[in-house]
Amino acid sequence: MAHSGINVLFEGRNLIRLFGGLWTTVEIAGVALILGLLLGIVLGVLRTFPNRLLRLVLRLYLEFFRITPTVVLLFLFYYILPRQLGVNLPANQMAMLAFALWTSAEMSDIVRGALISVPKHQRESGMAIGLNRWQLYRYVLIPQAVSLELPATVNLVTRVIKTTSVLMLISVMDVINVGQQVVEANNQKFPTGVFWVYGMIFVMYFAIDYPLSWWAKRLDKKRLERANG
Amino acid sequence: MAKQIIKVEHLEKYYQKDHILHDINFSIDQGEVVALLGPSGSGKSTLIRCLNGLEAYQKGTITFNGKQVEPTEKYWQQVRQKIGMVFQSYDLFPNLTVLDNILLGPVKVQHQSPKVAQASAEKLLDQVGLRDYEKAYPRQLSGGQKQRIAIVRALALKPELMLFDEVTASLDPEMVRGVLNIISKLAQDANMTMIVVTHEMNFAQQIADRVLFLEDGRILEQTKGDQFFKQPQTDRARAFLESMAF
Ligand SMILES: Nc1ncnc2c1ncn2[C@@H]1O[C@H](COP(=O)(O)OP(=O)(O)O)[C@@H](O)[C@H]1O
Ligand SMILES: [Mg+2]
């Protein structure tokens, strides 16, 4: 029993290291989400403005982040940008920046979609009482868009958290990275340790993501019920 | 001589290549009630929407309160505070309570003090019999109640001209009367200047000082109310009245 794989988790500081890695992940995802969602709302609003050039540029911004695989994106931010542009941030912050910009691109599309699905008559009756453009967004369009976009936003949050696992590809001390180190360091002593370490990581991500997915589904169902009732 | 509220001269409106309104000319004095009648698709909604800048027009001028309107969004935002509009579709803001729907314009656009604005909103709600609903959300109201609130929302800005575009057309029959009564009262008691688009011919006859008859984007007739219904000047108008068979 003493050498059963599960004990790899309790050996030395392994468990603490795993949780420390999880914390780094949560920190990166958290900061990226806060910045990304806020920037995404602004970009989404701008994408509903009549200016064609502005809309085209923002559309290209979205497509860039959508087409580029996350791994490539991280390599770009971690290896290429610093060399080409002389931007030199610690790995953690580079990851935050990359994820924040990606989140903002996806969020801009969600916000734009919700804004343009607010009925035209809402916009017109706002204009008819003399609201200016800013007031129209502030009091009429954005509040109505928020309830339309909430499920998609929660989904995006789930996706961002899940995707942070690719951070093991760059030298961020994230859960999977730590996991890999733990596995390698303990390979001799616990041959089946790999199973337990990755199992633990799975449970950690599951514990964060599953409630979010569940919440997103519930919100969507509620919204549909309200729309039909 | 009564003060002139609005004057439209040589107005032309296109949707891309479609010529929708042809050389529209008319003016309305303070306190006048004008019924804008005509077959469906004749351009009534388009015309009424041009009058508060919701539609752009390609030629002609609109003069409001003696000043020619500059066709910019900024200018229209000023003018719209003085022109109330109620649409056919129920268009209260679903994210706001009845009271907040009404207060949005007075407080945020006109910067009235919230207390004063609320007091006058409640007075208006009393007049339409919906004071008890001020904390309700639009989804809790019937169609007729929503339209009455929409009228109050427009009136809260103390407009000098009201535009009504088929406000009872989507209502259940039993709710039509209540809404029309409010519009009649507004004309009689408050002496409100208004343009009313409606399919309710009895109502139009009862309320209109003057009828503008529109067909294919042209004003074919401008006649005193009682005369239009007894003795229309054009065959087109006669045919229209017969088709409405009221
Ligand atoms: N957004 C639009 N784009 C193109 N054509 C339109 C649009 N809105 C209305 N029209 C056309 O303009 C004409 C007048 O429409 P409308 O003003 O709604 O008539 P009414 O209110 O008298 O029924 C119709 O032929 C209609 O098809
Ligand atoms: Mg119409």
Tens of pLDDT, residue by residue over A4-30, are 777 777 777 777 777 777 777 788 889
d(CA B164, CA B153): 13
Q: CA torsion, points B31, B37, B43, B45, in degrees to nearest 10?
A: 50
Shortest Cα–Cα distance, B159 to chain A (Å): 10
Give the closest of B91, B95, B109 to A131, CB-based. Answer: B109
- Chain centroid to CA B73: how far? 20
- Residue A120 neighbours by CB distance under 10 Å: 10
Instruction: Spell out which residues of chain B touch residue A225, defining contact as CB-CB under 8 Å.
Output: none
**CATH number (domain holding residue B53):** 3.40.50.300
pLDDT of residue B246: 57
* B13 backbone φψ class: left, alpha, beta (φ>0; ψ -120 to 50): beta
CA angle in degrees (0–180, nearest 5) for B44-B46-B51: 95
Quote the number of domains for chain B.
Answer: 1
Summarize the confidence of residues B107-119 as an average pLDDT: 96
pLDDT of residue A168: 52
- Chain centroid to CA A157: how far? 5
- Tell me which residues have their CB within 5 A of the ion that is ligand 2: B 45
With an 8 Å Cβ cutoff, are B157 and A139 in contact?
no
pLDDT of residue B207: 94
- Chain centroid to CA B108: how far? 22
The domain limits of chain A are 5-228
> Of B11, B12, B18, B218, which is best to mutate to test ligand 1, by the most ligand atoms within 8 angstroms of its C-beta?
B18
pLDDT of residue A175: 64
- Residue B19 CB less than 6 A away from ligand 1: no
pLDDT of residue A170: 53
Mean pLDDT across chain B = 94
Query: Does the pLDDT of residue A171 top 50, yes or no?
Result: no
**The tokens of B158 are what?**
């103390």
Closest CA to B153 of B174, B128, B173: B128
For domain A5-228, which CATH number applies: 1.10.3720.10, 3.50.50.60, 3.40.50.300, 1.10.10.60?
A: 1.10.3720.10
Summarize the confidence of residues A162-180 as an average pLDDT: 64
Mutation target to probe the A interface, by most A beta carbons within 10 A, among B46, B93, B139, B162 is: B93
pLDDT of residue A198: 74
d(CA A131, CA B81): 9
Summarize the confidence of residues B7-17 as an average pLDDT: 96
Beta bridge partners of residue B224, listed in sequence order: B210
Helices (H) and strands (E) in chain A, counts: 10, 0
pLDDT of residue A227: 60
CB B125 within 8 A of CB B117: no
Instruction: Spell out which residues of chain A touch residue B80, defining contact as CB-CB under 8 Å.
Output: 127-130
Strands (E), B145-236: 161-165, 194-197, 210-215, 218-224
With an 8 Å Cβ cutoff, are B95 and A135 in contact?
no
3-state secondary structure A156-215: HHHHHHHHHHHHHHCCCCCHHHHHHHHHHHCCCCCCCHHHHHHHHHHHHHHHHHHHHHHH
d(CA A24, CA A27): 5
Residue showing tokens 């929503």: B146
pTM of the model: 0.82
Nearest CA owner, ligand 1 atom 25: B41
Q: Which residue has the higher pLDDT, A167 or A96?
A: A96
User: What range defines the domain where residue B132 resides?
Assistant: 4-243
Give the closest of A130, A135, A143 to B80, CB-based. Answer: A130
ipTM of the complex: 0.91
Query: Does the pLDDT of residue A195 top 90, yes or no?
Result: no
